[in-house]
Structure 1
Amino acid sequence: MSQIGNNIKKLRNVKGLSQQAFADLFGLTRGNISSYEERRAEPKIEIMLQIAKYFSIPIAELLEKQLTVNEILNFEDYFPVESVIVDAGSFAKIPYLDREYFRQYTAGDNTLENRAAIHLPVDSNNKFLAIENSSFVPHPAGFAFDEHMILFVEQVTVDILHTLNDHFGYFGGATPFFGRYEISGKEIALVLNDWKKEVYSAGNAAHFWKLFGKFERVL
């Protein structure tokens, strides 16, 4: 059997999708997705191709290997061709935080009002930020994203807490940083290094974001 069932489950967890939400993307039922993940059945080849196209994953890798979280994150996010002809009002308006934003952050100028914005066809009710990766925002070892990449982060909500472990994220509090989520028992922490971490709680939940995707120029 192929690895398609394992990879569908991993894709759902990384993207924070329920079985029903994943099924809706491809005109399937929740029962279809359950049967694929439990390896009781495999999708038809046309469905496999749709999944590969949607998540911009080479079909051979989707079928033949167990994808890791980092591999899924490093595949280019898919933007439907149809998006160029839809009304701009259907696009999410995502505040863009560039290096100048973080250069001034220590001076207290950290408001999101009147920021430049990026419009993307993101199908989610959650909030997003677009952040230019730069030396002004500390990041952990193994953070494999180059300077000037734009990283898209999704605000953490209760329904995706279970997907955070070992996933990169962003803390937007008093001292912003990128980190890696660690879950130990009931504690969820975004960890920068051995000396710096922030623990998720109801009081500071608005500052926690999960890495959703990236944009990079291909030269």
Structure 2
Amino acid sequence: MSTLSNRIRELRTEKELTQEEFGKLFGIVKSTVSLYESGKSAPDDEIKKKIAKYFNVSLDYLMGVSDVKNPYINDKDLDEVDKFLLELKKEAEKEGLEFDETSPQELIETYKLLKEFKKRTKGD
């Protein structure tokens, strides 16, 4: 299991936030964020709640107790995801691509690759 410091760093970098940007969101300075991420200090409970709420994760996930980011997803959210996946499947099939909606991890990895590609080509 991850630690609180690892989860804070992971969540911050997933959103492509600098330590300074992260700190501004929660009213703390960059050096405090660095202390959190190195495990030399820990946020108080109020900051933990704000971090969890901002990143839409449970406190258990943030604290490293669980690897499930948000166990409280409701049916309405799932309906929207299902609609999105069906639409994505239709679009992929129009392009002659195979799409297996039972493998969301592959979709996530593909999205990350595309995002990285866009970032690299933007700089050229």
- Common fold by TM > 0.5: yes
- In the TM superposition, what whole-angstrom CA distance separates every residue of 1:13-46 from its partner, at most 9, and x where no partner exists? 1111111111111001101110011000000111
Deviation at 1:144, TM superposition (A): 1.5
TM-score, reference length from structure 2: 0.61
Deviation at 1:11, TM superposition (A): 0.5
Opposite residue 61 of structure 1, the aligned amino acid is Y
Structure 1: how far apart are the matches of 2:25 and 2:89? 34
Are 1:36 and 2:42 an aligned pair? no
Opposite residue 135 of structure 1, the aligned amino acid is K
What 5-or-longer segments of structure 2 have no aligned partner?
74-83
Residue in structure 2 matched with residue 205 of structure 1 by the alignment: 121
Tell me: CA distance 1:133–1:64, structure 2 relative to 1, closer, same or farther (3 Å): same
Runs of 4+ in 1 over 3 A off after TM superposition: 71-76, 138-143, 199-202
State the identity as a percent. 26
Residue in structure 2 matched with residue 126 of structure 1 by the alignment: none
Deviation at 1:64, TM superposition (A): 2.6
Deviation at 1:143, TM superposition (A): 4.0
Structure 2: how far apart are the matches of 1:52 and 1:201? 29
Q: Name the structure where strand makes up a greater proportion of residues.
A: 1
Q: Name the structure where helix makes up a greater proportion of residues.
A: 2
Structure 2: how far apart are the matches of 1:15 and 1:139? 29
What is the Cα-based RMSD across aligned positions, in Å? 3.8
Are 1:134 and 2:89 an aligned pair? yes
Deviation at 1:49, TM superposition (A): 0.6
Residue in structure 1 matched with residue 15 of structure 2 by the alignment: 15
Residue in structure 1 matched with residue 27 of structure 2 by the alignment: 27
Pairing of 1:148-187 with structure 2 (within 5 A): 167-169=109-111, 181=113
Residue in structure 2 matched with residue 96 of structure 1 by the alignment: none
What 5-or-longer segments of structure 1 have no aligned partner?
77-98, 100-131, 146-165, 170-179, 182-189, 191-198, 207-219
Residues 6, 66 of structure 1: 8 Å contact kept: no
Pairing of 1:5-154 with structure 2 (within 5 A): 5-65=5-65, 67=67, 132-137=87-92, 138=97, 143-144=103-104
Tell me: CA distance 1:28–1:168, structure 2 relative to 1, closer, same or farther (3 Å): farther
Structure 2: how far apart are the matches of 1:16 and 1:56? 16
Residues 48, 59 of structure 2: 8 Å contact kept: yes
